[in-house]
């Protein structure tokens, strides 16, 4: 028993410089390391709810579920805050198939843009290569077939005007849809609700398949075979307007409740076939959820309010955070820091701020060095706060509020899962989830208990 007691004593000693109550910080670390629930939250989100496109039924279920969890943990002021609405909803179901039936059966990995038409059931037919002239289109007998698209760029391709005319002619002739190749073995999903009207919805079926799948079809064509492909795209539009929300919960500040530290991630995800929205950004939002649980379970009473926000609409342009900033302009001077976890399944390796912030930030993360000695963290200073960035911290930095994107560090390859068919639960690394949830809780708590708010650029 001597070794655990010595370790506990060393930990408490290292917490002596903590901005918050050292005993609370130690309790958060103990609970986070011995009974962490981030993985359990993530499994429910990904397996019972699934991918969560902005404006989809799945996202609304996720908002309701996470709000209920925050309430279960004892957080206050838990609510869904509407930031807007979108004209047309989109639900991608689970019945998706795409394969070559003959000459050699092969299952495809594929996607379509969100807010585009499904097949309305199984569609099966032969293939033909995209003609290079309108005159050649008739010879291809396109009706009831899939058109295999030429590369987007390259020597010898027809002009855009010619390609547009060929495509229009093919659709008018009754093709089943188009099939294009991805640039590599990753299949990226994207899309937009803008300019949609429920009275005039998209009807064209356009599919992107993995590069190797596309090449398998075209190689068969070169060998003289007549491939047959079949697709079933389970996609439907939902009549709007569809209200969309951020999820908000708080641990109220004991002495400075009007000053705030925000812990956040985005709950929405892309919805391509195969994706569960795990690492972009189920991990970040479930880390925030677990940080709330750990702080409440430890009995934390921060001096400032710790506000947990699960953003939505991030993937289509930071909508949830941008609209939050617009709606809460009067409160912005009282927000000390906004911390965003949106870098995948790797661990929280540090933060970037300006030089005047560095001492406070280093003190805030100091207890984590003892708790996770094999997962080092650093605070890096630069002349100005970053104004760009593709996540929700950028909305605050542009408004002069210190926004931080955790420097995700570790062995996971974010490119492999980012918006692809591989964003699944199997990609999440448990030991990193543990560190990230503890790091988020401890850092937020210490900043919420610091003598002052974080300094600001030019302040």
- Position 387 scores a pLDDT of 81
**What distance in Å separates the CA atoms of residue 17 and residue 421, rounded to the nearest whole number?**
45
Under 8 Å between Cβ of 273 and 114: no
Secondary structure tally for the chain: helices H, strands E? 13, 18
CB-count exposure of residue 133 (10 Å: 0-12, 13-18, 19+): exposed
Specify the pairing of strand 304-311 against strand 335-340.
unpaired
pLDDT of 9: 45
Residue 11: predicted pLDDT: 46
Token code pair at residue 58: 């799945």
What pLDDT tens digit does each residue of the chain (459 aa) get? 334 444 444 444 444 456 999 999 999 999 999 999 999 999 999 999 999 999 999 999 999 999 999 999 999 999 999 999 999 999 998 889 999 999 999 999 999 999 999 999 999 999 999 999 999 999 999 999 999 999 988 888 999 999 999 999 999 999 999 999 999 999 999 999 999 999 999 999 999 999 999 999 999 999 999 999 999 999 999 999 999 999 999 999 999 999 999 999 999 999 999 999 999 999 999 999 999 999 999 999 999 999 999 999 999 999 999 999 999 999 999 999 999 999 999 999 999 999 999 999 999 999 999 999 999 999 999 999 988 789 999 999 999 999 999 999 999 999 999 999 999 999 999 999 999 999 999 999 999 999 999 999 876
Q: Which domains does the chain have, with CATH numbers?
A: 2-90+240-449 (3.40.630.10), 95-233 (3.50.30.30)
Burial classification of residue 318, based on how many CB atoms lie within 10 Å of its CB (0-12 exposed, 13-18 middle, 19 or more buried): buried
CA distances 180 to 16, 121, 234, 288, 397, Å, are 60, 20, 19, 38, 39
d(CA 421, CA 187): 6
- Specify whether the CB–CB gap between 56 and 189 falls below 8 A: no
Please say whether the beta carbons of 52 and 277 come within 8 A: yes
Cα separation values, 365 from 326, 342, 370, 406, Å: 30, 18, 10, 12
Task: Please identify which residue in the block is written with the tokens 């937020």.
Answer: 444
pLDDT at residue 423 in the model: 98
How many whole angstroms separate alpha carbon 399 and alpha carbon 394? 9
Task: Supply the DSSP string of 26-70, one letter for each residue.
Answer: HHHHHHHHHS--HHHHHHIIIIII----TTSHHHHHHHHHHHHHH
Q: What angle (nearest 5°) sits at the alpha carbon of residue 68, between those of residues 65 and 72?
A: 135
- Distance, in Å, from the CA atom of 413 to the CA atom of 322, rounded to the nearest integer, reads 28
Q: Can you give the pLDDT at residue 388?
A: 78
Nearest to 390 by CA among 245, 291, 281, 275: 281
Q: How far apart are CA 243 and CA 81, in angstroms?
A: 10
**From the CA atom positions of the chain, what is the Rg in Å?**
25
| CA–CA dist 448, 260 (Å, integer) | 7
State how far the Cα of 147 lies from the Cα of 216, in Å rounded to an integer.
15
Residue found by looking up tokens 């900043």 in the block = 447
* CB contact at 8 A, 419 and 186: no
Alpha helices, DSSP H, located in 140-183: 160-173
Angle of helix 430-449 relative to helix 22-34, nearest 10 degrees, comes to 170
pLDDT score for 380: 96
What predicted TM-score, i.e. pTM, was given to this entire model? 0.94
For 258, other C-beta atoms within 10 Å of its C-beta total 9
Euclidean distance between CA atoms 266 and 177, whole angstroms: 33
Please say whether the beta carbons of 388 and 307 come within 8 A: no
Q: How many other β-carbons are positioned within 10 Å of the β-carbon of residue 61?
A: 15
What stretches of 176-255 adopt beta strand conformation (E)?
A: 177-181, 206-209, 228-232, 235-251
pLDDT for 18 equals 63
Paired with 247 in beta bridges are: 80, 310
> How far from the centroid of its chain's Cα atoms is residue 246's Cα?
14
CA distance 301 to 317: 35
- Cβ(372)–Cβ(29) below 8 Å: no
């Amino acid at each position: 028993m001597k070794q655990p007691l010595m370790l506990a004593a060393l930990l408490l000693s290292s917490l002596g410089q903590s901005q918050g109550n050292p005993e609370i910080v130690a309790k958060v670390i103990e609970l986070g390391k011995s009974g962490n629930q981030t993985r359990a939250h993530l499994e429910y989100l990904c397996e019972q709810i699934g991918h969560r496109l902005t404006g989809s039924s799945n996202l609304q279920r996720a908002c309701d579920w996470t709000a209920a969890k925050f309430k279960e943990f004892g957080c206050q002021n838990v609510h869904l805050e509407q930031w807007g609405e979108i004209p047309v909803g989109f639900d991608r179901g689970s019945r998706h198939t795409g394969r070559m039936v003959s000459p050699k059966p092969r299952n495809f990995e594929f996607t379509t843009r969100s807010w585009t038409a499904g097949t309305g059931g199984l569609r099966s037919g032969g293939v033909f290569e995209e003609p290079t002239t309108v005159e050649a289109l008739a010879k291809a007998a396109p009706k009831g077939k899939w058109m295999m698209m030429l590369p987007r760029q390259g020597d010898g391709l027809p002009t855009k005007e010619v390609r547009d005319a060929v495509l229009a002619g093919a659709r008018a002739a009754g093709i089943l849809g188009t099939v294009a190749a991805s640039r590599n073995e990753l299949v990226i999903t994207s899309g937009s609700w803008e300019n949609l009207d429920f009275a005039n919805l998209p009807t064209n079926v356009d599919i992107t398949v993995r590069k190797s799948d596309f090449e398998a079809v075209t190689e068969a064509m070169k060998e003289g075979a007549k491939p047959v492909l079949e697709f079933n795209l389970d996609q439907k539009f939902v009549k709007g307007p569809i209200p969309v929300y951020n999820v908000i919960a708080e641990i109220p500040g004991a002495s400075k409740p009007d000053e705030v530290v925000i812990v956040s991630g985005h709950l929405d995800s892309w919805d391509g076939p195969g994706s569960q929205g795990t690492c972009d950004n189920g991990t970040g939002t479930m880390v925030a959820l677990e940080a709330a649980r750990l702080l409440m379970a430890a009995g934390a009473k921060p001096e400032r309010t710790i506000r947990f926000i699960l953003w939505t609409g991030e993937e289509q342009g930071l909508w949830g955070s941008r609209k939050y900033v617009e709606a809460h302009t009067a409160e912005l001077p009282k927000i000390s820091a906004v911390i965003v976890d949106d870098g995948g399944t790797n661990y929280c390796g540090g933060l970037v701020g300006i030089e005047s912030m560095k001492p406070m930030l280093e003190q805030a993360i100091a207890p984590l060095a003892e708790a996770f000695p094999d997962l080092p963290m650093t605070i890096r200073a630069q002349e100005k706060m970053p104004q760009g960035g593709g996540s929700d911290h950028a909305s605050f930095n542009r408004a002069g509020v210190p926004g931080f994107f955790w420097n995700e560090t570790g062995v996971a390859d974010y490119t492999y899962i980012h918006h692809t068919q591989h964003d699944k639960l199997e990609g999440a690394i448990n030991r990193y989830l543990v560190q990230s949830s503890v790091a988020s809780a401890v850092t937020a708590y210490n900043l919420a208990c610091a003598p002052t708010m974080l300094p600001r650029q030019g302040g």
